């Protein structure tokens, strides 16, 4: 147990408890924990429900009558991917800036934070409703303009560090077979270097980005008029166009068997959303040139997003205990890069 967890957030209690994925719905474990976070609660009214769609961590909602909070139980060896100290610091900053729920407590294998009421979004929330899509881009522009923006983009440093954690072979024979047949690490390394040179030489706007805006990390308010973003564990200084691009990719879905990267809008279908984002970002409607330039980078950086998460999935395939086809996910994300390269689409201007 690292010492920062118990001491670095002033005013946030540390509970010396370790909760495993197996224990997350065990009332004998969870009820005493809940009462340490919320001492005014009564044991008989505590209920526990594991949330779905997490492929990095386990997320559990703990309720008491009309109140609730959430705990995040870290995935196996996810400290390889995520700086957990920085994650807490980011969550605290997000909360103080009005973009997230407060951190309630730290414990040995995760932390507890406030529950955001509403309905988790799905790809259809944005693909089938233009008003919801525009609400998303307006909310994202607020995040990008209102959060502190000092620092240097970390995406390439993170991806290069992750590359060192990809195993040369996997203990699971099926996973290892797919890895050896379908994953070209030399290609990934080369493409990452090419993107780094291209992006870092461009004059792209940067600032704080969420970097993981899949629909399930977005909550629609009960009144259907406000969106809240969750799970800032990958939040960092990055390129604003990348945050938009990454969200577009996530509209393809999450399950490997049903992923469809033709679903997210592109070209003329995407342009009104880019105008919406830039209008909210700048406080005035962008010129055609500004819209075209930003959209060209968004579509280009969709490929960087594919590359980034393919590396992430290769690490998760070796470490995670969550039931998800990480190696198949890595293969599909990488295929999108190769396909675009073969078809000479999303080429830089």
What is the number of other CB atoms lying within 10 angstroms of the CB of residue 196?
16
pLDDT confidence of residue 327: 97
Distance CA 28, CA 54 (A): 24
pLDDT confidence of residue 99: 87
State the pLDDT confidence band at 11, using cuts at 50, 70 and 90. low
Residue 238 pairs with which residues in a beta bridge?
207
Residue 330 pairs with which residues in a beta bridge?
none
pLDDT in tens, 181-205: 999 999 999 999 999 999 999 999 9
**By the 8 A CB rule, do 326 and 66 touch?**
no
State the pLDDT confidence band at 3, using cuts at 50, 70 and 90. very low
Cα 208 to Cα 25, 53, 93, 139, 148, distances in angstroms: 34, 25, 11, 13, 7
Average pLDDT (291-300) is 97
Tell whether the model's pLDDT for residue 2 goes beyond 60.
no
Tell whether the model's pLDDT for residue 40 goes beyond 70.
yes
Tell whether the model's pLDDT for residue 39 goes beyond 90.
yes
Distance CA 326, CA 12 (A): 34
pLDDT confidence of residue 77: 78
Kindly report the CA angle at 155 between 313 and 300, in degrees rounded to 5? 85
pLDDT confidence of residue 96: 86
Q: What is the pTM of this model?
A: 0.92
Cα end-to-end distance, the chain, whole Å? 49
């Amino acid at each position: 147990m690292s010492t920062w967890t118990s001491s670095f957030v002033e005013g946030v209690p540390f509970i010396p408890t370790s909760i495993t994925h197996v224990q997350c719905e065990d009332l004998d474990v969870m009820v005493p924990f809940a009462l340490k976070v919320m001492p005014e609660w009564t044991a008989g009214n505590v209920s526990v429900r594991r949330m779905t769609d997490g492929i990095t961590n386990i997320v559990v909602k703990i309720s008491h009558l009309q109140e609730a909070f959430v705990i995040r139980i870290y995935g196996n060896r996810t400290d390889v991917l995520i700086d957990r100290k920085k994650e807490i610091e980011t969550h605290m900053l997000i909360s103080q800036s009005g973009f997230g729920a407060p951190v309630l407590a730290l414990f040995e294998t995760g932390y507890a934070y406030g529950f955001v009421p509403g309905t988790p979004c799905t790809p259809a929330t944005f693909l089938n409703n233009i008003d919801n899509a525009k609400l998303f881009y307006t909310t994202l522009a607020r995040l990008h303009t209102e959060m502190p923006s000092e620092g240097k983009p970390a995406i390439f440093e993170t991806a290069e560090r992750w590359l060192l954690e990809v195993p040369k072979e996997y203990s699971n024979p099926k996973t290892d077979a797919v890895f050896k047949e379908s994953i070209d690490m030399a290609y990934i390394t080369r493409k990452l270097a090419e993107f780094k040179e291209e992006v870092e030489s461009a004059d792209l706007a940067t600032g704080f980005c969420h970097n993981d805006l899949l629909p399930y990390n977005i909550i629609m308010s009960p009144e259907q008029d406000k969106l809240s973003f969750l799970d800032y564990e990958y939040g960092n200084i990055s390129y604003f166009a990348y945050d938009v691009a990454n969200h577009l990719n996530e509209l393809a879905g999450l399950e490997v068997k049903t992923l469809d990267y033709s679903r997210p809008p592109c070209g003329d279908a995407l342009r009104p959303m880019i105008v919406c984002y830039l209008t909210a970002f700048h406080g005035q409607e962008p010129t055609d040139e500004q819209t075209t330039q930003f959209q060209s980078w968004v579509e280009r950086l969709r490929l960087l997003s594919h590359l980034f998460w393919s590396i992430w999935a290769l690490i998760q395939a070796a470490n995670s205990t969550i039931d998800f086809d990480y190696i198949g996910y890595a293969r599909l994300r990488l295929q999108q890069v190769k396909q675009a390269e073969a078809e000479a689409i999303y080429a830089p201007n």
